[in-house]
Amino acid sequence: MRLRGGYNFHLAGRPHSFVAAMPEPTKLYLPLWSRRFRFGEVFVRAGDRVRQGQILARDKSNHGVPLLSPRAGVVQGDGPPNHITLGELAREEEASLDPREILDRLPQKGGSAPLNRHKLLMLGAWQFVAEAHTGLLPDPFKSPQAVIVSTLHLEPFVARGDVQLGQRLACFTRGLEQIQTLLEYQPIYLVLPETQSALGKTVREKTRGYAWARPVYVPLRYPYDHFAVLARHLGLKAAAASPVWAMRTEGVLAFDRALTLSRPCTVRLISLGGSAVEKPSHLRAMAGYPLRELAAGRCARGPVRLIDGGALTGRAVTKDEWGLSAECDGLTVLPGVGHRRVLSFMRPGWGERSHSRCFLSSLRPAFRERLTTEVRGERRACVSCGYCEEVCPAGIMPHLIHKLLYQNELEEAERSRVDLCVGCGLCSYVCPSKIELSEQFQQAQQELRELAEPQGAQA
C-alpha cells in the first residue's frame, strides 16, 4: 500500500517552537473523563490529603489506567461535578516508586517484563499508548506484533514532535531502549520526516546502531502520521490477539521517565493554537490545570470555541469542563462567530481557501488562512464532486458511502469498506456541501461493532 490522499494545511495560529512553563496553580480541576477514559472508580473524597503521584481514580474498563495527582494537596468538596478538585497545593520532591509496592498486584509472573509493564500502567505512562488500528488502549500484558513510534504530529493544532524532542534526545533514545526491553523479536518502526531536517538527521544518527529500530520516512502531509494509515502502509494486520502498539514522541519520553526514573507522568507538553490565539505557543502544564488560566492573556476577546485536541479530530470543550483533561495534547481556540455575513455568496474568496480552487485565493501565493467556526455557505446535498475521495488516505469513496448511509443501507456501506475510515476528518474539511462525513462514518462503525458483538458472544 502506498500513501495516498492527504492535505497540506496553511492555517494561522500555528504554535511557536518555544515552550513556556505554566506557573503553579492555586487549584487543580481534574476531569473524571478524557477522550478514551472514564475514571469511574474514585478512591478519594473531600478532606483527604493526597501526595504527589497518588492514584486518585481508575478506569476499570481500560485495564485500570489511573488518574494521578499532579501535586500534593487536599481534595475539595466545593468543586464542579465530575471533577476531583485539589486545593492547598504543594510541590513535593519526587520519589521513585518502590518495585515492592506493585509485586503483589501483578496479574502474572515471569521476570522483569511484567513488572515493567505494570509499572508503566501505575505511573501513567501507558495512557500514551494506543492500538494503531482502533486507537483504543491496548492490553499492557499482551505481546504486540510490532511497535510504531512516530516523531511526527501533523494535525493542526497539537504539540509537534520536534518541539517535544527539543533538548531531550538522550531521553528519547533511552526510552526506545526501554521499549525494546519489553519485546522479544518484534520490530520497532521509527517514523521520521522525509525532509532532510537537522533534527531528523540527528535522530537517525542516534538510532543508527539500533538494528531493531526500523526507520520509516514519510512526507510532511496530514494524515500520513496517523497510526492506522502507518500500520496499513507497513502491512501490519488488525488482530485482537496481536495488537500494534503505537505512540508518539511524548510516549517514548514517558516510558523513559517511568522505567528509568520510576516516577509518575503527570505533566504534559500541549499546544495552544488557532486563529483566536494572540500568542500561539507550546505550554508545559499538568492535568487539571484551570482552562481559564491557560487561555488568560493569550486569546482574543469575544466569544471563542475551545477544542480539546486538533482542529480536525478534537472535541469541543463544554462549559462543564474546568480543567485540562488527562489526555490533552493541544487546545485549539477558534473565533465563535455567531452572525451571518451579508451577501456572502458574492464574496470571491480572496482570503479563504478551497480544495476546489474555485476561489479567487487560488491566484494568490501561499498564505495562512484564518480558520473560524463559520459554515461559509449553506449546507446542501452531496454534489459528487469527488474531493473527499481525492484526500482520503484510506482509499475509499466517502461520497458513495454517505449516500448509502443516508438511505439506511448499512450493509452496503459495510461492503464499501466504511470500516477503513480512520476518522482523520479530511473529507468533512474539504466537502463543499458542508456534510459531516467523518462523524457519520464513525457512527456507522459504532453501529457495525454493536451488531457484531452478539454474534461474537454466541461464537
- What would the mean pLDDT of 130-151 be, rounded to a whole number? 94
- What would the mean pLDDT of 246-270 be, rounded to a whole number? 94
Q: Tell me which residue of 29, 238, 10, 254 sits closest to 135, measured CA to CA.
A: 238
Q: Tell me which residue of 103, 100, 221 sits closest to 156, measured CA to CA.
A: 221
Q: Which band of pLDDT confidence, cut at 50, 70 and 90, is reported for residue 29?
A: very high
- What would the mean pLDDT of 134-156 be, rounded to a whole number? 94
Q: Which band of pLDDT confidence, cut at 50, 70 and 90, is reported for residue 198?
A: confident
Domain boundaries along the sequence of the chain: 375-458
pLDDT per residue as tens digits for the range 152-188? 999 999 998 889 888 788 999 999 999 999 998 899 9
Torsion sign over Cα 152, 422, 424, 220: positive
Q: Residue 426 in 3-state DSSP?
A: helix
pLDDT per residue as tens digits for the range 219-232? 999 999 999 999 99
Checking if the pLDDT of 343 tops 70, the result is: no
Checking if the pLDDT of 454 tops 70, the result is: no
- What would the mean pLDDT of 204-218 be, rounded to a whole number? 85
Model pLDDT, residue 377: 66
Model pLDDT, residue 371: 83
* Secondary structure E strands in 103-142: 130-131
Under 8 Å between Cβ of 106 and 114: yes
Please name the residue that has the C-alpha cell 528519547. 172
Per-residue DSSP letter, 33: B
* Average pLDDT of the residues of the chain: 88
CA distances from 68 to 49, 364, 382 (A): 14, 50, 46
Q: Which of 161-165, 197-201, 279-283, 415-419 has the lowest mean pLDDT?
A: 197-201
- Residues 345, 376: Cα–Cα separation, whole Å: 9
Per-residue DSSP letter, 133: T
* Secondary structure E strands in 181-251: 188-193, 213-218, 244-248
Q: Which band of pLDDT confidence, cut at 50, 70 and 90, is reported for residue 189?
A: very high
Q: Which band of pLDDT confidence, cut at 50, 70 and 90, is reported for residue 205?
A: confident
